[in-house]
Amino acid sequence: MDQVKAMKTVLADIQSGMWNDVVSFVQQVDTSAAKSEGVDARNLLSDLAAERGGISRNASQLEAAAESR
């Protein structure tokens, strides 16, 4: 049971790291076309999160990053 908990922690850390990379990339976007594509991607990810429930807390980070630019 401890191994399962440890694996869940590792996977959560990996997921968080991946989303941090995405957020960092989105924050570096400088062109309006890329921003528009980022918004489209954010919306698709939000829809996916709503359907599957697995990435919803990180989708809000992506949304915040996209809107900050």
| pLDDT interval class at 1 (50, 70, 90) | confident
| The residue type at 36 | S
Determine the Cα–Cα distance for residues 4 and 68; give it in Å rounded to an integer. 37
Q: What pLDDT does 43 receive?
A: 81
Q: What pLDDT does 60 receive?
A: 63
Q: What is the pTM of this model?
A: 0.41
Parse the chain into domains and list their residue ranges.
Answer: 2-68
Q: What pLDDT does 36 receive?
A: 79
Q: Over 80: is that where the pLDDT of 32 sits? A: no
Euclidean distance between the first and final Cα of the chain, in Å? 43
44-58: per-residue pLDDT in tens? 877 776 666 555 556
Determine the Cα–Cα distance for residues 60 and 67; give it in Å rounded to an integer. 10
Determine the Cα–Cα distance for residues 62 and 15; give it in Å rounded to an integer. 13
